[in-house]
Chain A
Amino acid sequence: MTSYQSQLGSGDGIAEELAEGQRAISIAEFFEKNKHMLGFDSGARGLVTAVKEAVDNSLDACEEAAILPDIYVELQDEGDYYRLIVEDNGPGITKEQIPKIFGKLLYGSRFHKREQARGQQGIGISAAVLYSQLTSGKPAKVTSRTQEREDAQYFEVIVDTDENEPEISVEETTTWERPHGTRIELEMEANMRARQQLHDYITHTAVVNPHARIELQEPKAEFKYERATDTLPDETEEIRPHPHGVELGTLIKMGEETDSYSISGFVQEEFTRVGQKTANSIIDSFRDRYFGREMAWRLPQQHEDATVTDVVTDAVVNKGQDATADFAAGITKRLENGDRVAHHQVVEAAEEVGDEVQTAYGTTFGSTVRENAVEAAWDAITAERESDIYTLVDDATTKRKDDAVIQAVTERLAAKFAQGSHHRVTGGDLREYVDRAADMTEERDDGTFGDTARENIVDALWETAKQVPDDPPKIHDVAADRDSASELLDAMRAVDIISPPTGCLAPITEELVEKGLGKEYNADFFAAATRDASVHGGDPFIVEAGIAYGGDIEHEGSAEVLRFANRVPLVYQRGACATTDVVKNINWRNYGLDQPGGSGVPNGPAVIMVHIASTNVPFTSESKDAVANVPEMEDEIELAIREAARELKSFLNKRRSMRQRREKQNKLATILPEMAEKLSSVTDKKELEIDNTMARIMNDVLVTREREGETVRLVVENNDDSNAELEVTDIVDAEPTAVNGANVVKMDDEWFIKWNPTVGASDESVLEYTLTDDANCDIAVDGIEDEKLTVDA
């Protein structure tokens, strides 16, 4: 630029020269330059991204129409390029909308909504169409059938890259076997080098969308992902923005477009969680910023030379002695109510008392009289500014400050409040006054004023100043002025406002997280945790975590980390994601997983999944591959993972103790029978039965049956050191009596007698009933691991 600048004076034509090079950038050029941002940077990745955009759209559409999604994805290898087909059973798209949705970038229904949804910008699928047409030159082939229609619509569409408008090459009515749904066919230059990522994407989508059925047909393979639940995710509702979550530009736009007249109406109408009370707080806060406050001073005391009464009396002429005296005393009395007095309070007092006295005496106290009175009173009140400020500064600073220094600052500060003015200041003004006075004092009087001291003085002055009663400007005026709008935004952020409602979010829920993991991973253990909603920047969010462990999960290497945002799997940029960072920073050894070096992704047969649901997930880039490091969100991610990990820990502990137990049992199961056999031979006695001894050694719950005539006794002996809660069912072929409260059900000539005893540690309980002595019994015991149970009945 400098070279042009140097020539500016020398001749004309530079601007014209420059202008020749300036023209509109076509959407295609923009895409070409920025395709990495949108996830189309290579043929391998482009395919995955196209599948992802199409599937995300399908899932969103089905959910909005409350349809259980049934999605079919097919990839055909056409030699030079791939053909991608995605079909869903969604509600279908109307004839008018089809071209725009697929052939126009940045067209969508969600960008302006605050609601949890997969897609948001309206870039995704049309970007895929654009990518396809740029690489293969073929149009997108879209078939869609809406629920009401007998026939389907077929379009071939491309994006007009100069205009960013759809260009339809074929449009016809056709038939389709699906009752409703949409099918898109794209041909693109692609390869299957990212097959693993594609599978990850589909598998992970199946995990977080347990209500969806997904089928993937590849050139040489086929994969099916069945649904695990018929429950659709809760419907989400759109919410208005939260005052803490808007930016200045948005606020100005909202202010320009609102139907409201006042600021109060605007904030209540356009924002969530703002009622009359919050609106008032916002307006008070805005007033402070917009108008500033009025400095208030102490009234002159009785012993001082000129009291308010004195000066007002002097200022009033020709109004009669009594009326004047009442007027002066009235004003004083009103002002004495508060500790300090600001200018507008004096005006208010003069007006009110003027009216009263006017009525009482029938003498006119006109505006000139009132103004004179106010002026006189204000002069008297502000006469001792220095001593007022001295008290404030002295209180606000440390005791160690030299008196002379404080006096010096006080004098300089007092000088800022000119005699006769109204002393209206903003926070910024005050800070400036204090800085200036302090700087001068440091320079001239050799005192020191650090930032803390300055802030304390500013705060003290600001607290002392009174809020002004002026009416705030109208919202359109605020929106029209950038500074005012900025002050309104600051005011909204300064007010405490309760968190946004969470009806706009649909977490997967703990139960379905476990089910989703369970259907794609054959593991021994599943845990899940869904946190309560939190807020970051005015957008509510919910974090969920799930852990699968053991079973068929790969034992070698580190655990698999699955990241999701609004039910969309994040497949790329794992290392840049806040979720991965949190997983790495947790001490997994505490939870029984192997973690070399004490940090990083843990090793072992585990899958750790994290789902973030939000109206606005903070991504690091437009390709939406990684969640940005937002502290509030990282905290919640950590808490969710820890919650699930605690369950994992207790499972692993239990499993370890069960394993030790089995080892012990195995060992004893060789030793004790040998010992018993040897004993029989040494003592020359009959063979021994040692099950009961084993039960007692293994701290087992031992259930034995005693029958004595018609009395049946089931003895439950708990040899463990913790309570045992059991379900004991005795199945008999004759009717039992005297069952003492047990639950008896008859089924097909058999009686099921059921007890639910809780047996304390090293305790026993006896379940007794009466039964004819020739009846047969069969016992079943539930509620305890097989390893810990010995039934001898």
Chain B
Amino acid sequence: MSTDDTSDAREQLLSLANQFYEQFDDGTVPSMEVPTRTKTNIEYNEESDVWVYGDRTSTRSAKSIRGAQKLLKATYAIDFLTRQLEEDRSSTLRELYYLSESWDLDEAQFSSQDESNQLIEDLEIVSGVTREDFHMRPEESGATVMGPLKIREQTRRGEREIHCQKDVGEGGYQIPNNPDTIDFLDHDADFVLAVETGGMRDRLVENGFDEEYNALVVHLKGQPARATRRLTKRLHDELDLPVMVFTDGDPWSYRIYGSVTYGSIKSAHLSEYLATPEAEYVGIRPEDIVEYDLPTDPLSDSDVNALESELEDPRFQTEFWEEQIKLQLDIEKKSEQQSLAARGLDFVTDTYLPERLTEMGVL
């Protein structure tokens, strides 16, 4: 799916523009078909073990004013992106949104950043080129890696060789927007531990968990950015490391696990490029709440709705998840990762993780 070649990305965009041109030239109504991006239109791909879009599509057609505006904006965006690629520049999604303000035609301007983001997703899907190859960046990545791994990164300022434990501070190595510019040189790691919250990541680093257990601690920073997911997948695929996901014990965190493992609904077209189907869930599990008698918060109504919706989410249709989610609905409680501190600051590194990871066959 990925195209390293910028000229290829440009070609792809131009061919979409050509398609619109031909449609006008034939006197037909310009249109563009994209998969419907909803929960009901993702299906499991047996071959790649990830969730991808199904057969249902939506048509963006100039027949309606809305559709015509979308296509107009797409045309303007194509114009902008092809020039950006030609000049080997890059920009952020937010910059694209603000840039549209400078377009002389009011109808071509984006009314919100959601709209410009969605348009870029449309273009990715239709052209089969990732936005990284359009040289479009998200605003902030900031996700980090800490652990026994040596890499070489191609930066605009030349190559850099970095050891993700020795050459970095306590903050760790910052994952670049396009992780495909990284080469893995050497490593001493036994597994990858992807951690949701910054507090827990800092606790693990402070307690020296990465050194003690040869772990690559990847900070997910909430719902992980594409770059984080891409790097995680490459660590698994290229270095053959098991990926363990450690999050809070609530429905929103299960979705974080889901997007690492199976891909997200919005980027299902990139699942094969971003998702790590082999990733496993460490916790916090609802059973942990019971077993360790963790401090809890009650489930809110939206939590309950989210859990119920997950029961119907094709990505959570496994015995493990059904059991856990039903248990949580039953006890009506949720816990954060840091609630483990109720048993002492070292409990997570000395007891919880070693026990759980041993149980899961990683240690």
Interface of A with B (CB < 8 Å)?
A: 664, 667-668, 670-672, 674-676, 678-683, 685, 688-693, 695-697
Contacts and interface: CB of A to CB of B under 8 A. Distances in A.
B82 interface: yes
B107 interface: yes
A625 B122 CA distance: 72
Contacts of B78: 682
Interface stretch (B47-55, B64-72, B142-150, B332-340): B64-72
Contact of B17 (A683, A690, A696): A683
A675 B68 contact: yes
Interface stretch (B1-9, B25-33, B212-220): B25-33
Contacts of A692: 27
A696 B79 contact: no
A671 B27 contact: no
Contact of B72 (A675, A682, A690, A691): A675
A392 B78 CA distance: 98
Given A678-B76, A682-B17, A671 B107 contact: yes
B44 interface: no
User: 3 closest A-B pairs (Cβ-Cβ)?
Assistant: A692-B27, A675-B72, A679-B21
A683 B23 contact: no
Interface in B7-63: 14, 17-18, 20-21, 23-25, 27-30, 62-63
Interface in B232-287: none
B129 to A, nearest CB: 16
B30 A693 contact: yes
B75 interface: yes
B72 A674 contact: yes
Contacts of A695: 27
B228 to A, nearest CB: 34
A695 B28 CA distance: 9
B84 to A, nearest CB: 13
Nearest to B69: A671
Given A671-B68, A674-B107, A696-B29, 13 more contacts: A670-B107, A671-B62, A671-B107, A672-B68, A674-B105, A675-B68, A678-B75, A682-B75, A683-B14, A685-B21, A688-B24, A689-B24, A696-B27
Interface in B178-228: none
19 contacts: A664-B65, A667-B107, A670-B105, A670-B107, A671-B68, A674-B107, A675-B62, A678-B79, A682-B79, A683-B17, A685-B21, A688-B24, A689-B25, A693-B29, A693-B30, A697-B29, A697-B62, A697-B63, A697-B68
A685 B75 CA distance: 15
Nearest to A698: B63
Given A682-B82, A693-B30, A697-B62, A671 B17 contact: no
Interface string B81-109: 01000000000000000000000010110
Q: What secondary structure prevails in chain A residues at the interface with B?
A: helix
Interface residues of B, number: 27
Nearest to B107: A671
Contacts of B82: 682
B79 A681 contact: yes
Contact of A679 (B24, B28, B29, B63): B24
Contact of A675 (B20, B25, B63): B20
Contacts of A689: 24-25
B180 to A, nearest CB: 27
B107 A693 contact: no
A510 to B, nearest CB: 40
Contact of A667 (B18, B29, B65, B76): B65
A679 B27 contact: no
Most interface-central of A679, A683, A695 (chain B CB within 10 A): A679
Contacts of A697: 29, 62-63, 68
Contact of A693 (B28, B75, B105): B28
Nearest to B79: A682
B71 to A, nearest CB: 6
Most interface-central of A676, A680, A682, A685 (chain B CB within 10 A): A682
A672 B75 CA distance: 11
Nearest to B61: A697
A670 B63 CA distance: 14
Contacts of A680: 21
Nearest to B78: A682
A540 B18 CA distance: 75
Nearest to B18: A683
Contacts of B107: 667, 670-671, 674
Contacts of A693: 23-24, 27-30, 62
Interface in B88-146: 105, 107-108
Given A678-B75, A693-B30, A696-B29, A671 B65 contact: yes
A98 to B, nearest CB: 74
Nearest to A690: B24
A689 B28 CA distance: 11
A696 B14 CA distance: 25
Contacts of A682: 14, 17, 75, 78-79, 82
A683 B21 CA distance: 8
A448 B23 CA distance: 90
Most interface-central of B18, B24, B65, B75 (chain A CB within 10 A): B24
Contacts of A671: 62, 65, 68-69, 72, 107
A784 to B, nearest CB: 19
Contacts of B65: 664, 667-668, 671
A517 B21 CA distance: 53
A113 B215 CA distance: 116
Contacts of B108: 674
Contact of B30 (A670, A675, A683, A691): A675
Most interface-central of A680, A693, A696 (chain B CB within 10 A): A693
Nearest to A699: B63
Contacts of B29: 693, 696-697
Contact of B62 (A670, A672, A688, A691): A672
A672 B23 CA distance: 12
B63 A688 contact: no
Nearest to B105: A674
Contacts of B17: 679, 682-683
Contacts of B63: 697
Nearest to A674: B105
B21 A668 contact: no
A697 B14 CA distance: 24
A667 B105 CA distance: 12
Contact of B71 (A675, A688, A691, A696): A675
A727 to B, nearest CB: 24
Nearest to A685: B21
A575 to B, nearest CB: 48
Contacts of A676: 24
A653 B199 CA distance: 63
B186 to A, nearest CB: 46
A688 to B, nearest CB: 5
Nearest to B71: A675
Contacts of B18: 683
Given A675-B75, A693-B62, A668 B24 contact: no
A678 B18 CA distance: 11
A670 B68 CA distance: 10
B105 A688 contact: no
A146 B293 CA distance: 120
A732 B29 CA distance: 32
A682 B85 CA distance: 13
A789 to B, nearest CB: 16
Most interface-central of A675, A678, A690, A693 (chain B CB within 10 A): A675
B68 A679 contact: no
B316 to A, nearest CB: 42
Contacts of A696: 27-29
A697 B17 CA distance: 20
A679 B62 CA distance: 14
A679 B30 CA distance: 11
A699 to B, nearest CB: 9
A378 B245 CA distance: 118
Given A682-B82, A683-B21, A692-B27, A668 B75 contact: no
